[in-house]
Structure 1
Amino acid sequence: MRGIVFIAGLGLIGGSLAKTIKKAHPQAEVIGYDIRADEVGLAEALNVIDRKAESFQEGAEQADLIILAAPVLQTEAMIKRLAGFELKKEVIITDTGSTKKRIMDCAAILESRQAAFIGGHPMAGSHKSGVAAAKELLFENAFYLLTPGEHANEKQVAILKKWLQGTKAKIIELSADDHDHLTGVVSHFPHVIAASLVHQARRHNHSNSLISRLAAGGFRDVTRIASSNPEMWKDISLHNREMLLALLSEWKVEMERVIDILKEGSAPLLFDYFNEAKRFRDELPVKAMGAIPSFYDLYVDVPDYPGVISEVTAYLAEERISITNIRIMETREDVYGVLVISFQNEKDRMRAQKCIEKHTNYDLFLA
């Protein structure tokens, strides 16, 4: 496709979208803007964008497609500014925010400008941030949710989908309300629960510092998402506050149910409680990408002798398999493996598994 694509926000998401659009539509021009001058300069140096916009207004007024790739509160502010610009008549505007109802309500001010606003949420991420971490395959096989506004017609939605075809994502259309409900259940709510579990462990750690050592294993993995950007999650939680309040009320009822079962001391009820949870969890898709970014960990049961870790990583280096993290687990109750190696994607993890199996007889397990 031809045209000018303006991306406001050159972090991981904005940068990755720029790369996918440039590759899929080489005849288009991708211009970028960010309040962080160093990120803009890096985006130019890495050829993530074709050129920078001198200002948010200049970039927006030239564009055929505007992508607001910023945190949700900043996105609202950008939408309000767009309402005062001289935008192209056929311009399509989208965002990448994790909540949609408030964004769509805010975008109603663009209706008088006859600009088509189509809410967007690419459900992909990484342990890294910034434009330097941008990659073309970030969205591959991930869900990309679209929430078209009332004034966005089928043709405009089809045009946006064509612009996004290079993401190789699974694009789904739904209402803003449905979006916030679904992501609330499987993403926003779990982040709150993970943070609350960490807070509880922190409180108990004051009286017994052994807690933090024992939490180095399975507990750390269960609460991994609590390490996400607190500024971003503050904004998301406020944006989806009503849904979170409803879900937390349900959670209180659920915990009261567990309390009652424990007070009763009923072994059959406890078994059913854990068994039903296990059955549903085991039926969840293993390889599909969901609302929370997947972690591609490989657990390696290595013997305890000097140099064993460098030996394993050397095998991976020989086959040029990149790792993103490596750690030793001290507590192993109910968790297999003492050496945990993290990878960027499933392909790298499977290559690593075959590599280690080829060179050793260690037991390997996937999370």
Structure 2
Amino acid sequence: MTKTVLVVGLGLIGGSVALALQKAPDVRVIGYDVDEVTMKIAKQINMIEYGVKTVQEGAEQADVIIFATPVSITVEHLNTLPSWDLKERVIVTDTGSTKQAVMAAGQALRARGITLVGGHPMAGSHKSGVTAAKPHLFENAYYILTALDEQDRWAVDELKRLLRYTHSKIVEVSAEEHDHMTAVVSHFPHIISASLVHQLQQEDADYPMAKLLAAGGFRDVTRIASSNPSLWRDITLQNRDKILEQLTKWQQEMERVKDILQAGIPQHVEQYFGDAKKLRDSLPFSGGALFSTFDLQVDIPDYPGVISVVTGLLADENISITNLRIVEAREDVYGILVISFQTEEDRLRAQTCIETRAKFETHIA
């Protein structure tokens, strides 16, 4: 029996889910997006079988409804669902970055006989929109599911069977655990990243050259500050309490750093950096809350045509590049070509190719 899956919101995340589900047998994917052009493109690239004119039209046909919209919009739709003529055992899920507001709406849905299981695929890209969607976007990334309780076990198991075609690592946590952990490793770091950029701006009047030096390590550290401001406004407000907890702990940590520096004991300063390096080096390369760019750093000599040599070698091996840039000013490394790839496999293949054929040293940051 063919199941119908409705994906609401056909941007990067919703579009990538829809594309991944094309591999699922006996599944028909239909879609809705507020932008008609997006819906036309989705149909043209076989992301969906067809588009529906309204969310209600699609929801009443669906066995599974996936809301890939901002959390505030998702909650609005969830509050409307009980007035629609849905299938008896329809499963509703989402892809939002915060879970407690969604699960609160899910509690109200349960009273009306509708089952909701929260979802959050923890992957992304520096690109957005329907054309940025990829069927492999979630490969090896964590896909979080949050159920109200064991009463919804059947729906969780059904979603796991469906979402395995994303090739993600599906795990279950509570909504409270999810929002706490994402505050620590995603939401709070975005605020810190933005604050570093603001601090650079404050120094600009007296030290205008600082912006030029920021082309290296500073730019890497603050990459996530370039994320969509409206999106992060919503995420920050939705998870405000958890983020405020982290900011309080951050202030306490900064006071500890001040004490270490004021004491001026060299061994303690070195130990502070050493402890951080040990933990940072133990972190996984991919699958976390912040999207991975799969960057490879290449130490290149300074002679004309060297970049074309590197890219030519990768072309010979049929390895696709998503981006590349030269780091011109950085205090710890020199002559760095940073190449970005779509997958970890492509990065490792590129590393082997460059080291064996060009004899250039490479680094995975």
TM-score, length basis structure 1: 0.96
- For structure 1, the 5+ residue unaligned runs are none
Map residues 111-122 of structure 1 onto 2, 5 A cutoff. 111-122=110-121
Deviates more, 1:299-308 or 1:232-241: 299-308
CA contact (8 A) 2:328 2:335 kept: no
The CA distance in 2 between the partners of 1:260 and 1:61, in whole Å, is: 61
The CA distance in 2 between the partners of 1:106 and 1:90, in whole Å, is: 18
The CA distance in 2 between the partners of 1:114 and 1:152, in whole Å, is: 12
Describe the superposition over 1:251-292 as per-residue Cα deviations: whole angstroms up to 9, x where unpaired.
111111111221222223212221221121122223x41111
* 1:58/1:152 CA distance change after superposition, 3 Å: farther
Deviates more, 1:329-338 or 1:296-305: 329-338
CA contact (8 A) 1:6 1:59 kept: yes
Deviates more, 1:75-84 or 1:242-251: 75-84
Task: State the match for 1:49 in structure 2.
Answer: 48
The CA distance in 2 between the partners of 1:84 and 1:151, in whole Å, is: 26
Task: State the match for 2:258 in structure 1.
Answer: 259
Tell me how many residue pairs correspond in the alignment.
Answer: 365
CA contact (8 A) 1:144 1:169 kept: yes
Task: State the match for 1:214 in structure 2.
Answer: 213
The CA distance in 2 between the partners of 1:337 and 1:289, in whole Å, is: 29
Deviates more, 1:52-61 or 1:143-152: 143-152
Describe the superposition over 1:135-155 as per-residue Cα deviations: whole angstroms up to 9, x where unpaired.
221111111111112485211
The CA distance in 2 between the partners of 1:39 and 1:72, in whole Å, is: 20
Amino acid at match of 2:237: L
CA contact (8 A) 1:116 1:151 kept: no
Task: State the match for 2:156 in structure 1.
Answer: 157
Describe the superposition over 1:43-81 as per-residue Cα deviations: whole angstroms up to 9, x where unpaired.
000000001111111001111100000111111111122
Deviates more, 1:51-60 or 1:289-298: 289-298
Task: State the match for 2:3 in structure 1.
Answer: 3
**Are 1:17 and 2:33 counterparts?**
no
Q: Identity over aligned residues, as a percent?
A: 53
The CA distance in 2 between the partners of 1:360 and 1:174, in whole Å, is: 46
The CA distance in 2 between the partners of 1:103 and 1:155, in whole Å, is: 19
CA contact (8 A) 1:148 1:157 kept: yes
The CA distance in 1 between the partners of 2:37 and 2:120, in whole Å, is: 26
CA contact (8 A) 2:93 2:116 kept: yes
Deviates more, 1:183-192 or 1:273-282: 273-282
**Are 1:102 and 2:101 counterparts?**
yes
The CA distance in 2 between the partners of 1:285 and 1:338, in whole Å, is: 23
Deviates more, 1:251-260 or 1:238-247: 251-260
Secondary structure, in 3 states, of the residue corresponding to 1:144?
Answer: strand
Secondary structure, in 3 states, of the residue corresponding to 1:137?
Answer: coil
The CA distance in 1 between the partners of 2:189 and 2:256, in whole Å, is: 19
CA contact (8 A) 1:83 1:109 kept: no
Task: State the match for 1:169 in structure 2.
Answer: 168
TM-score, length basis structure 2: 0.96
Give the root-mean-square deviation of aligned CA atoms: 1.5
Amino acid at match of 2:18: A
Deviation at 1:361, TM superposition (A): 2.2
Deviation at 1:96, TM superposition (A): 0.3
The CA distance in 1 between the partners of 2:161 and 2:338, in whole Å, is: 40
